[in-house]
Structure formats: structure tokens, C-alpha cells
Structure 1
Amino acid sequence: MSDKFLDHVYRPASQVETDDIYDRWAATYDAELTEAGYAAPERVARALARRATLDAPVLDFGCGTGLSGLALRDAGFTVIDGTDPSQPMLDEAAAKGVYRNLTRLDLSADPPLAPGAYPAIAAAGVLGVGAAPPETFDMLMRALPRDGLLSLSLNDHALQHEPGYMAALCNWLDTGAARLLRKTRGKHLPARDIKSTVYLIEKA
């Protein structure tokens, strides 16, 4: 298959178009991302494991088919919940057997995530053009309790083409509402020569 979903996913799209892409991608997502050397889940999980309590609940936000859940388990986390807007993706994630709970994310809810429910949130490969918009960062930070941890990746494409991601992050850091604990640039999709930066952030 020469025309793969990765050829389309980094393009701006409406929420309806994005939902449709991920629903249709669910069956082949793991194979395509594995072929591309997808490194973000492992990097995000390892960064979070450096500071989080491993037996406390962690939310895998935008869990997709569960590749990030597997990475969190391998990093030592024992209570992992996942949420994603795509039901076909969640069905694939359920088959991995690593999640305590899986819920379909309702982005129209206010708020979409219950505040303070998780002391740690992982968002591997979620924030990006064609996926989750910059406002998602604010939503994740508001959901954390004081001293809560967010580990996320921002790929080079997102950082180059949408300044809103860094603006949202810097707004929290520059105002003292959050602290940057770790920032590392490294592999994202090596087969496509795309790198990403992993941030570990603590809510003040």
C-alpha cells in the first residue's frame, strides 16, 4: 500500500475529517507506525516514569490503539487508563490488555477531562497539526492537580507549522503556573526523518 495514512495525517483538517481518518486507520495503525519506527510512546513514558509514582493512576490521553499504553506498562506503570475520540482505536487498544479503563473522549463535554482525576498524564504523539490543536495543552494542564505531571511529545512538523503549541506551553511556564522539568529532542518517526521534543511538565 503506497498511499498510507501517514501521508495525510499531518495536514490541517476539520474535527470531522480528523475523526474519520483515525477511525479508518485503526486496523493498520500499529503496523504502519511500527514500520516507521515510531519512538514517541517509549520516550514519553520513560520521561514520565522519572518523576511519577508508578503505582498511581496515569491517563494515556489520545491512547489510540494502545501503543502508548504498552510503553507506559513497560516503563513500570501499573494502573493505566486510556481515552481517545475514536471508538475503533479504543477497540484495538482494549485488545492489548494493558488498560484498567478505556473511555471514549467527548470533546464537546465541559470539561472533557475531570479535573484532578489523575496525578500524571501522558500524551504521546497527540498534539500536532491534523490531530489535537494547541488548545488541547490547556485542557490537559487544567485537568491536572497541583504538582501533577504531564509528559508529551511535540513533533518537528507541529513546532514548525503551528506556533500555537509553543505559545500555549510558554504561557504556562512564563506565568509560573507550571515548571519545565525535562526537555529532550530525539526520534519520532525515524523512517520519515521526523524528530520530536519530549517535555515533562509539573503543574505549580
Structure 2
Amino acid sequence: MAEKFLSKVYTVSGVDETRAIYDDWSASYEAEIGENGYATPGRIAAALAGLIADKSRPLLDYGCGTGLGGLALRLQGFSVIDGMDLSPEMLEQARAKHLYRHLAIVAGDAPPPVDPGTYGAIAAVGVIGSGAAPVSVLAQLLDCLAPGGLLAFSFNDHTLEDPSYAAVVDGWLRSGAAVERFREHGPHLPGIGLGANVYVIEKT
């Protein structure tokens, strides 16, 4: 019987611990979250599809994991998708799906090696929050976008319990650094009763 990780992942901290648990989880990840109805990749892909007319423009799936976000984006018509993740084992699962133009390992504590304007949009599906990347990664991703670029991401209910995450986003909106294009609470992992906010913000 495969080891279960959902009960553990929201308590990890730090880059090394996060990388290790996702490496260990890579082979059984899709089965475990699939049986719990993982909804966020489809929700983020649909939100972006409603805002982007040219789906041939390159898009970055940051924290792509095994490629479920890439699959959801493909199903919405996006044709040029790159992926980055800190887990080599997760990336091998993504590579086998043949969804991505390029795949790269990213250091969890360093900005992604992306020049502003390379991508018209960046998706971070289930990447920021408890058991995952710190909120500072959002600022790094926003810096990778040229004005007018879209950043799509999610905060699950565990993350929303910590007001510091939403405060960062609300601070950008108040200052005019970004404009909110979409925000909606809905299912994340309904099998364990967990929801998430999906956001799309536009860099100004």
C-alpha cells in the first residue's frame, strides 16, 4: 500500500524538507490527490483561459510538480508551456507527459531565472502556502512579468488562515502595483474538505 502524504505535507517547512517530501511523494502523488478530487489546476487554467485571447504565447507553470497544471492548461488551449519545480522526481513525472516545451529545476530560495516579458502569464498552482513555498515567491514571480502580464495562483484554506498571505496581495492591489482580474473561492481537495481561493492579478 502506497504511503500517504497529505496528512504530512502541510506541516513541512524549509526548502530541503519540502523538496524531500515531494521527491518521496512523486510516484503516488497523482493517485492520492486524484482520489481527493484535486480541482485547483482546472480552476486556474479556466480562469486564465477566460482572460487570455492568444493562447499560443508562452506561459510558465511554476511549481509544475508532476504536470497536472500543464495538463489543465493544455485542455484549455494553451500550446506553449514551460515548467519549473524544485523536485527532480516530480519533474521526471512531468517530463513523461510530453506537455512542456522546457522543464527546469528551480532553487526554492532563489528567484526563477526568467527575464521580465518572457511569459505573458505565470501559473502557480497550489505552490504558495502551508507545506509549500513562502509568500515571498509571489513577489519573485510578479517581478518576472512585464506590465500587463498575468499571475495566477491559489491559497488553500490552511494558507488563508494566516492573514499574512492575503495581506501581501491586498497590499499590491492597494498600492496599484497590480490589478485583480479574478478571485474566487471554491474546491481544492474536496475529499478532505479543503477549499482554496484562486486569484489572477495583472501587473501594472
Number of residues of Structure 1 aligned to a counterpart in Structure 2: 203
Equivalence for 2:29:
29
1:104-143 counterparts in 2 under 5 A? Answer: 104-109=105-110, 112-143=113-144
What is the SS of the residue equivalent to 1:8? helix
Shift of 1:110: 5.2
Q: Distance in 1 between matches of 2:96 and 2:112?
A: 28
Equivalence for 1:154:
155
Equivalence for 1:51:
51
What is the SS of the residue equivalent to 1:106? coil
Indicate the percent of aligned positions where both proteins have the same amino acid.
49
1:147-186 counterparts in 2 under 5 A? Answer: 147-160=148-161, 162-186=162-186
Does residue 199 in structure 1 map to residue 199 in structure 2?
yes
Q: Distance in 2 between matches of 1:168 and 1:191?
A: 29
Q: Distance in 2 between matches of 1:136 and 1:164?
A: 13
Return closer, same or farther for 1:111/1:23 CA change in 2, 3 Å cut-off. Answer: closer
Q: Distance in 2 between matches of 1:181 and 1:108?
A: 28
Q: Deviations over 1:37-60 (max 9, x none)?
A: 000000001101111221100000
Return closer, same or farther for 1:181/1:35 CA change in 2, 3 Å cut-off. Answer: same
Q: Deviations over 1:15-38 (max 9, x none)?
A: 211110011111111111111100
Shift of 1:117: 1.6
Return closer, same or farther for 1:107/1:113 CA change in 2, 3 Å cut-off. Answer: farther
Name stretches of at least 5 consecutive residues in structure 1 with no aligned partner. Answer: none
CA contact (8 A) 1:137 1:165 kept: no
Q: Distance in 1 between matches of 2:140 and 2:164?
A: 14
Shift of 1:164: 2.1
What is the SS of the residue equivalent to 1:185? strand
Q: Distance in 2 between matches of 1:48 and 1:22?
A: 26
Q: Quick one: which amino acid aligns to residue 180 of structure 2?
A: L
CA contact (8 A) 2:116 2:146 kept: yes
Q: Distance in 2 between matches of 1:202 and 1:110?
A: 19
Return closer, same or farther for 1:110/1:78 CA change in 2, 3 Å cut-off. Answer: closer
TM-score, normalised relative to structure 1: 0.95
What is the SS of the residue equivalent to 2:9? coil
Q: Deviations over 1:66-98 (max 9, x none)?
A: 000000000110001000011110000001111
* Superposition CA RMSD, Å: 1.4
Does residue 69 in structure 1 map to residue 70 in structure 2?
yes
Name stretches of at least 5 consecutive residues in structure 2 with no aligned partner. Answer: none
Q: Quick one: which amino acid aligns to residue 94 of structure 1?
A: R
Return closer, same or farther for 1:108/1:20 CA change in 2, 3 Å cut-off. Answer: same
